[in-house]
Every structure is written in C-alpha cells, then in structure tokens.
C-alpha cells in the first residue's frame, strides 16, 4: 500500500469540460465568495457597462477550472429571474469545448439531442467564438463551444477586470473539473442515460443500485447511480435517481431544487489535504463522517495511514493499490441543493469511489436534511 506521504499524482481524467455557468440572485456576492473562500481569480466581466443590458456575468478561473456567474441586471431579465426564483442559485449551463461546433451539433441532433440554440458566431476585434446549445433536464443546457479563432480573455462582450479583483490568497490547489453529478426524478434514469450517451458519444461504465426491492428488510440508501464516460475519458457525468417512497438526499434535491438538475461538481485537487486546510480556514464547511468509518478503513487496509485522512475528514477508496481521496462541502447556498466535491486521484486511480457510497450518502443526508423540512 502506497504511504500517503509518498503519493504520485494521477494523470487520469484530464477533462475537456470548458466552463460552468451559474444563475444566481446576486452575482457579485457569489463571485466574492468563490474568490475569498475557494481561491478563484476574476478575469472578465460583461454587463450594462459593456453593452449587455439584461445581465451581469463574471468569468472566473482557477487553473483549468472556468466558471461564469450570472445574475439579472433588471426585472425584465425573465430567463434568469425565473430560473433563480424556481431553482435557487444553481448551475444553468455546462459548456464543452469541441473542434467543430457545427459537426458535433449536427451529430447530436441526429442522435436525439434537443436544440436550444443553433450554431452562432460572436465576433469582435479579437476574433470569433462559435457556440450552440442543447437542452438537458428541466431548465439546463449543454453548450458546445470553440475558441480557436479568438484571442481575448473569454468571449466577445467581456472586458478584463483583473485589477478590480486582485485579492491574492493562499493557493487552494484546485486544478480541474473531475466530474459532474446530476440528480434525476424517479424513472428518469434511462431517458437521460441514453440522451447523454448519444450526444456525448459516451458509455455507461459503472452502476450502483441501492433501491429497495420487494420485501427486503436490509437498509438501503434508496438510489440508483450510473457513471457515463466518453471514450477518451474527458467527459464524466454521474446520474443519480431516487427510489420510490424513500426519503434521501437525492429526493431532497429534487424537492428543494424543484426538479432535476446538477447536484454537484467535483474538482480535482493536486493536494486534497492542502485544499481542505485552506478552504476550511476561509470559512468553507465540509460534510463530517463518523469515527467508525475510519475504524473500518484501518481494519480493511492496515497498511494505510489513516491519521491524515481522519484529521481532515477525507474519505479514501482503494482500487488495485491506487487511491481516491474525496470530501464534500456543505451546500453553498440556502437551499439543500448544490454543493462541491473535492477529489484527488493517486497512482492512476480510475474509479469513482463507489465503495464509499454508504458513508457518503449517510453523511450527506445528515447535512442536507438539516436544511430541509421533512
């Protein structure tokens, strides 16, 4: 067993997600939290001052992670206002960079993709950006985008605002998007599994079924989980569906979010213990796990040094000598909905921590249920 002090970072899952866009009630405040708490850097902005009258959008970057945080700038911005009123602060769009927007869009439509925006080109003096979008879930979108012919900070309409947000802090060691997890309504799994696999040309690589069946008395989590992965392992989407009649953190998300949507994003860290130390010092709250989890881990893997794991509240999964470290934040907003996961893959770990599902869901349910009315 590789000792925790001599770990080798994994090159697995260098994602090709491009940016994630949030719709929120007050963008500047959410941006401030991501800067101060998570260590992001604000690069660019668009809004009424730049010729975009209906919204304020900030473009944030942390290594290979790109976020866009958007709010309405006037009451008539009904698309943004209605999303936030219904779902709360949450993710609206997942953008994926592709070589040819037109070609990928056409293939996706041929395979059953639902078009929201046909391919369009935005231009300014710095070049052009091509994009299109496809529908997912109730109110979400997949954006196909290509920047090959653009030399600006992000895309036309944005201006550089780095000097306005120059607040250096300790490095949180967050590197890239590892995977995106989505919560579905009951009986939606087959629908969205096929849809995602068709538009991303991915396949289902893992499944975890913890639904109650018949008269089983054994305690079940009450959920079905599937991992969808593109052939080149650049896109990883996790779909989770609740069980009928079982109150769980998945059904709580559906209730609080008012429908299917993106439940969490997992960021890969180059040093998860460093990330947890910095984020916790910045006021980020993490889900807590019982001591019995680490006791079981010690018995199962006696050569694994669990002291550091328990100190930081990090979970560990072992697969053929490779390790996955993972931890979840508490919900980042007022509703029991969206949160972040932080992972570190060690020695080419290629799984998704399914052995930790029980510990994860029991702890998450304690955290999330506390924010909901049962």
For each of the domains in the chain, give its residue range(s) and CATH number, in order of start.
Answer: 17-165 (3.10.180.10), 174-369 (3.10.180.10)
Beta strands in the chain (DSSP E): 17-23, 41-46, 55-62, 65-72, 90-97, 115-124, 127-136, 140-146, 159-160, 174-183, 202-210, 223-230, 236-242, 261-269, 315-319, 322-328, 339-346
- 41-46 β-sheet, strand order: 115-124, 127-136, 140-146, 90-97, 17-23, 65-72, 55-62, 41-46, 159-160
Name the nearest CA neighbour of 41 among 159, 178, 171: 171
Please count the other Cβ atoms lying within 10 Å of the Cβ belonging to residue 373: 8
What was the pLDDT predicted at 235?
A: 84
In the predicted model, is pLDDT for residue 352 greater than 90?
A: no
What pLDDT, on the 0 to 100 scale, is given for residue 11?
39
Where helices occur in 259-356 by DSSP H, the ranges are: 272-281, 291-300, 307-312
Name the β-bridge partners of 266: 179, 341
Mean pLDDT of 81-106: 94
Are the CB atoms for 338 and 315 separated by under 8 Å? no
Q: What does the block give as tokens for 346?
A: 């060690």
Residue 371 pLDDT: 58
Q: What is the pLDDT of residue 366?
A: 61
Regarding predicted confidence, which is higher, 149 or 320? 149
Average pLDDT for 309-327 = 90
pLDDT at position 271 is 95
**Whole-angstrom Cα distance, residue 334 to residue 309?**
28
Q: Which of 225, 177, 224, 226 is nearest to 197 (CA)?
A: 226
The residue ranking higher by pLDDT, 318 or 261, is: 261
Nearest residue to 59 (alpha-carbon basis) of 179, 171, 157: 157
- pLDDT (tens digit per residue) in 255-293: 999 999 999 999 999 999 999 999 999 999 998 888 888
Q: Tell me the chain's radius of gyration from C-alpha atoms.
A: 21
Parallel, antiparallel, or unpaired for β 261-269 and 339-346? parallel
pLDDT for 10: 41
pTM, two decimals, is 0.89
What three-state secondary structure class fits 124? strand
Confidence of residue 244 (pLDDT cuts 50, 70, 90): confident
Half-sphere exposure for 196 (CA within 13 Å, toward CB): 30
Task: Kindly report, residue by residue over 292-305, the tens digit of the pLDDT.
Answer: 888 888 888 888 88
What is the per-residue pLDDT across 100-116, written as a single tens digit (0 to 9) for each?
999 999 999 999 999 99
Q: Using an 8 Å Cβ cutoff, are 5 and 273 in contact?
A: no
- Please report the pLDDT score of residue 289 as a whole number: 84
Rounded Cα gap, residues 260 and 257, in angstroms = 7
What's the whole-number mean pLDDT along residues 210-215? 67
Taking only the tens place, the pLDDT of each residue in 173-193 is: 999 999 999 999 999 999 999
Q: What is the pLDDT of residue 354?
A: 65
Higher pLDDT, 7 or 357: 357
Residue 368: pLDDT above 60? no
Task: Give me the residue label for tokens 């925006």.
Answer: 117
């Amino acid at each position: 067993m590789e000792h925790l002090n001599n770990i080798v970072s994994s090159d697995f899952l260098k994602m090709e997600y491009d940016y994630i866009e949030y719709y929120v009630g007050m963008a500047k405040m959410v941006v401030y939290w991501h800067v101060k708490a998570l260590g992001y850097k604000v690069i660019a902005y668009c809004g009424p001052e730049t010729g975009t009258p209906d919204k304020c959008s900030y473009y944030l970057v942390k290594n290979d992670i790109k976020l866009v945080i958007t709010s309405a700038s006037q009451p008539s911005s009904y698309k943004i206002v209605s999303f936030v009123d219904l779902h709360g602060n949450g993710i609206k769009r997942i953008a994926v960079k592709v070589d040819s927007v037109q070609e990928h869009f056409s293939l996706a439509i041929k395979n059953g993709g639902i078009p929201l925006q046909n391919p369009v080109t935005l231009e300014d003096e710095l070049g052009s950006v091509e994009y299109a979008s496809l529908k997912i879930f109730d109110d979400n979108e997949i954006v196909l985008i290509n920047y090959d012919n653009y030399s600006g900070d992000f895309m036309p309409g944005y201006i550089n605002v780095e000097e306005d947000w120059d607040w250096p802090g300790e490095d949180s060691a967050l590197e890239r998007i590892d995977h995106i997890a989505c919560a579905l309504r009951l009986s939606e799994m087959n629908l969205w599994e096929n849809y995602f696999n068709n538009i991303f040309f991915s396949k289902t690589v893992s499944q975890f079924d913890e639904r109650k069946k018949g008269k089983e008395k054994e305690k079940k989590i009450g959920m079905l989980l599937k991992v969808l992965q593109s052939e080149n392992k650049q896109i990883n989407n996790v779909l989770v569906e609740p069980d009928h009649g079982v109150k769980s953190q998945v059904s709580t998300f559906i209730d609080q979010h008012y429908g299917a949507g993106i439940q969490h994003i997992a960021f890969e860290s180059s040093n998860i213990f460093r990330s947890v130390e910095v984020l916790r010092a910045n006021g980020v709250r993490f889900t807590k796990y019982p001591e019995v989890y680490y006791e079981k881990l010690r018995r199962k893997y006696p050569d694994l040094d669990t002291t550091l794991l328990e100190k930081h509240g990090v979970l560990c999964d072992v697969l053929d000598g490779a390790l996955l470290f993972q931890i979840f934040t508490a919900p980042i907003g007022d509703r029991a909905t969206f949160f972040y996961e932080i992972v570190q893959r060690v020695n080419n770990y290629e799984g998704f921590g399914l052995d930790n599902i029980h510990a994860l869901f029991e702890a998450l349910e304690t955290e999330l249920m506390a924010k909901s009315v049962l």
